Amino acid sequence: MSSALAEDVAIPDLEAYRLQARTWLADNMTRRVGPPEHHEVEYYTPEVIAAGRKLQRRVYEAGYAGISYPKAYGGQGLPVQYEAAYLEEAKDYVLADFGILTGTTFGVCVPTMVAHGQPDFLAEFVPKVLAGEALVCQFFSEPSSGSDLAGARTRATRDGDMWVLNGQKIWSTYAHLADWGMCLARSDWDQPKHRGLSWFAVPCDSPGLTIRPIRQINDTSEFCEDFFDDVTIPDIYRIGDVNEGWTVTQTMLVRERGGGRPIDAKAELHPGPLAPDLVELARRAGTAADSTVRQKIARAHTIDFVGAALSARIGELNRLGRLDAGSAAYGKLFKGVYDPIRARIAVEVGGPGALAWDPADAHGPDTSLYYLNCRIMSIAGGTNEMQRNGIGERKLGLPREPSFDTGKPFSQVLRDATNWTGKPNT
């Protein structure tokens, strides 16, 4: 991320910095054996989160957390290439793992806060985040609005230097394990729907805030529903200007759709080994020599490489300051379209062994679970249809699709929806 403040920061030599990080990691962190572990939802408990906080604190105290964050907010104020270099050196070590909260905290919410938040709040809040003391979830979606983020009905009412929040959020991943949430609320009901919105940072232990995990059909509870009943927070927790929340939203969407990953501009992109997970599935199934199976594996490998190239391109646009929500939507749409295709290929390559497994095999259910969850990215964070609209209208210059509510006060939109009969006016 680029610095939000003008700072005089001594820029060290990049290779010397990389060597310093390599030495520190070897002396202070545990080298991982084997590839990164993939943990299921229920793995993340308060105890696991607490262990991650200790590791994050160690990294923070050494100066390797928030490398590209402003120094005034507890970071190092260095260019993003230095963060990319550190992450490259750290990829084989055991680091703090907060599950989805790692991405929502460090990849989406806090960088958005740094771009739009109030300096006094950020100076106190961001160092706690970098030290692992404040993990942030997303209070975005609502039961009544689906992918229409601008249709938020959670109400923010100003009371002097305080705000009172009332409403409901849903699908808040790991909210029950988070310390704070970034919340979108409607602060002016007489403005059109994309105006009259404001963002707030909300402590998850606030009086009046109830967070309930949702038990899903697969017997896991990563999502929560959240009820705001007269939740009172100070104005300093407001992120961005009053009623200008859609500007903040654009920054957030860029981050959520992949624009927040630090990249090394000099790193070369290579196809890498041929889809290792699928090759292993084929060997288990005894079909590695089958020409049809080989074609399927080759197609999956192509998907992997094209996706990596697209991700690198989006990251480069972000580094150059040329990335907007429309461009970032390409990455989100790619995963929404091709995750299901690749998951189907895995099932076909694995055959019956991908659908039934020895209970003693810890990785036995991986392929079938991936297939069951493969459409997540076509829905979560905005559907494929929403991404296509954004690309068409923002990047390709296509006419905006007809909208009956764009210019109306939001209160009128709700009244019209309530009174709608479906019959033509006479």
Say if CB 220 and CB 102 are below 8 A apart: no
Residues 127 and 151 in one domain: no
Residues 286 and 371 in one domain: yes
Top-confidence range, 2-16, 216-230, 391-405:
216-230
Q: Select the more confidently predicted residue: 60 or 148.
A: 60
**Residue 411 located in a structural domain:** no
**Residue 175 located in a structural domain:** yes
Residues 130 and 150 in one domain: no
What CA–CA distance (Å, rounded) separates 59 from 37? 20
Label residue 302 by pLDDT band (50, 70, 90): very high
What CA–CA distance (Å, rounded) separates 190 from 209? 26
pLDDT digit string, tens, across residues 354-400: 888 888 887 788 888 889 889 988 988 788 998 898 899 888 999 98
Mean pLDDT of 412-419: 80
Q: Which of 106, 134, 162 is the last residue of a domain?
A: 134
What CA–CA distance (Å, rounded) separates 257 from 201? 21
CATH code for the domain in which residue 219 is found: 2.40.110.10
Query: How many separate helices (H) and strands (E) can be counted in the chain?
Result: 13, 8
Q: Is the pLDDT of residue 6 over 60?
A: no
**Residue 162 located in a structural domain:** yes
Label residue 180 by pLDDT band (50, 70, 90): very high
Amino acid 4 reads A
State the catalytic residues. 256
CATH code for the domain in which residue 379 is found: 1.20.140.10
Residues 23 and 80 in one domain: yes
Label residue 424 by pLDDT band (50, 70, 90): low
Q: Is the pLDDT of residue 71 over 80?
A: yes
Q: Is the pLDDT of residue 3 over 50?
A: no
Give the CA distances from residue 216 to residues 139, 220, 262, in Å, rounded to whole numbers and listed in that order.
Answer: 19, 6, 33
pLDDT at 390: 86
Say if CB 92 and CB 275 are below 8 A apart: no
Label residue 4 by pLDDT band (50, 70, 90): very low
Label residue 19 by pLDDT band (50, 70, 90): very high
Helix (H) / strand (E) element for 210: namely strand 209-213
Q: Which of 134, 158, 192 is the last residue of a domain?
A: 134
User: What's the whole-number average pLDDT of the chain?
Assistant: 89
**Residue 254 located in a structural domain:** no
Output the six-digit token pair for 301.
Answer: 């490998």
- Number of structural domains in the chain: 3
Residues 274 and 207 in one domain: no
Residues 294 and 372 in one domain: yes
**Residue 332 located in a structural domain:** yes
Range of the domain at 178: 139-245
Residues 223 and 115 in one domain: no
Q: Is the pLDDT of residue 306 over 70?
A: yes
**Residue 255 located in a structural domain:** no
In 3D space, the residue among 274, 197, 267, 204 whose CA is nearest the CA of residue 239 turns out to be 197
Residues 129 and 157 in one domain: no
Q: Is the pLDDT of residue 325 over 60?
A: yes
Label residue 258 by pLDDT band (50, 70, 90): low
**295 contacts: CB under 8 Å, gap ≥ 6:** none
Identify any residues that bridge with 6 across adjacent strands, giving them in sequence order: none
**Residue 366 located in a structural domain:** yes
pTM of the model: 0.82
The three-class DSSP label of residue 158 is strand
Q: Select the more confidently predicted residue: 320 or 70.
A: 70
pLDDT at 295: 96
**Residue 5 located in a structural domain:** no
Is 262 exposed, middle or buried, given 0-12, 13-18 or 19+ CB atoms closer than 10 A? buried
Q: How far apart are the first and last CA of the chain?
A: 56
Mean pLDDT of 112-135: 97
Q: Which of 245, 277, 296 is the last residue of a domain?
A: 245
